[in-house]
Amino acid sequence: MSIKTVRFDEGRDNGANAPSAGGVRLHAFVIAGTHSGVGKTTVTLGLLAALRKRGLAVQPFKVGPNFIDPGHHTTVTGVPSRNLDGWMLSQEYNQDTFRHNIQRHDVGVIEGVMGLFDGYDGKSEAGSTAEMAKWLGLPVILVVDASAMARRTAALIHGFQSFDPNLNVTGVIFNRIGGPGHLQYLCGALEGRPDIVVLGGLSHTADITIPERHLGLVTPEEHRLGAENIGRLATFIEDKVDLDRLLRTTQFTQPPTPVSPSSTANRERRRDKRVRFGIARDEVFCFYYPENLELLERAGAALVFFSPLHDVHLPPDLQGIHLGGGYPAVHAAQLSSNVTMRQEIKAFIEDGKTVCAECGGFMYLTRGTRTTQGKYFPMVDIYPTVVRMLSRRSALGYTEVEIAATEMDFPPLRLRGHEFHYSESEQDIARDTIKTIYQVRQRPTDPPRSEGYVYKRCLASYAHLHFGSNPEFVERLVSGT
């Protein structure tokens, strides 16, 4: 289904662009950074909290293959945050996701990824925040780490504004300023630049900092932003950012015609009886794209959530299981001590039932996990290897997966996803008893790497796949149960 790109200036409040009959006036903008670590997530969470405090219905989005930041978005707004990704997903899919989910909301807030122009590689804008802002036709609010900066901020912002004339960098929020006097210097550097709006300046405040670990922020399952924290975030942004001006400069008109999800994501398999599909979800297994779970449902699955960490037994009458990613090594002792759950999952797999496991889920299905201190914890023992945790990152980046084999009833398919982990397998498990059905590449010119380990009807991999890149994958997964 073809979607017209919504230009933000269609809704500028100048009289000439009043909403058409039945149109709805909305606000939407992209929060981008000059580089990673400038405070995009803190600014985004604060804006979400402040806008919600005003009584506005806010729909959050996150650019890129990130699970943790969207979880915090959801905690603040009470609305599932949606991932947008220009490399894993098509332009149409992203536009449909935005248009469908912005309905019945007042404001759309899109948190960017890395620096504004950073993406899949250094030669193109694929996967970047800039690409997504242009696809959606939305203005960019640039977060600038202004610590130890004064007039050179003008040169920096000028570079970001002029680099791509098709991109609208319309506002700036200065982060980590030294105080009101410092903010005056920064605003003075931009005098005579009516094309850039200074929306505010934020000083460092430890009270609103979210803890981090090696894979990014601590997950919402482990560090829940309570009402008091969210209130502090809202007050902080209200005091430091001109929200009225932000809303005035980010208006657009939503067409009156309802927009449904992309036809590529909306094919629903008709079944007389739905398949009971267990979804592992707790502090360990928490990395899921909402669209992946929805696509499972559209393929005929009835989702049944359970916790390998806390539950003693599997839910009854499951026909399939999905073990998502997360932090099994952080909770290795508790996972290992839940012997009954480990035994039931192993028996489920040995009985020929369908299981799909990604990253942390794959680690859980191995013989065991060895921590960086060398301590060993037994796991489910389906795959004949031990996963060793590392002090360095072993994989980071987008991956394209090609399924060429016919194991588990899959036809040849191509999907996209990403890898991000600090562990490695101690043994090569692609032997006689363990088949591989994935050919994985990070770049088209890379030699393919065999992955996607199949044992009976259990498929496990380090790759986090976005099912929206090829919904047929999940349809075949559910139909094979």
Distance CA 244, CA 173 (A): 14
Contacts (Cβ under 8 Å, ≥6 apart) of 424: 387, 388, 390, 394
Q: Comparing C-alpha atoms, which of 420, 406, 415, 395 is closest to residue 454?
A: 406
Residue 67 burial (10 A CB sphere; 0-12, 13-18, 19+):
buried
Distance, in Å, from the CA atom of 367 to the CA atom of 355, rounded to the nearest integer, reads: 17
Cβ(132)–Cβ(30) below 8 Å: yes
In angstroms, the CA 32 to CA 224 distance is 24
The H-or-E segment that residue 377 falls in is: strand 376-378
Q: Is 359 a catalytic residue?
A: yes
- Assigned token pair, 431: 């032997």
Max Cα-Cα span within the chain:
72
Helical H runs in 223-376?
Answer: 227-240, 243-248, 290-298, 332-337, 339-350, 360-364
Please say whether the beta carbons of 445 and 392 come within 8 A.
no
Contact 70, 40 (CB under 8 A): no
Residue 36 makes CB contacts below 8 A (sequence gap 6+) with: 114, 115, 118
Token pair recorded at residue 352: 């020929």
State how beta strands 354-358 and 458-461 pair.
parallel
- What is the spatial distance between Cα 133 and Cα 116, in angstroms, rounded to a whole number? 10
User: Which residues lie closer than 8 Å to 210 by C-beta, 6 or more apart?
Assistant: 41, 42, 45, 72, 217, 218, 223, 225
Indicate which residue of 187, 286, 356, 359 is catalytic. Answer: 359
CA distance 95 to 100: 8
Whether the CB-CB separation of 386 and 427 falls below 8 Å is answered with: yes
Specify which residues 450 forms β-bridges with: 439
How far is Cα 114 from Cα 398, in angstroms, rounded to an integer? 14
Q: Looking at the annotation, which residues are catalytic?
A: 359
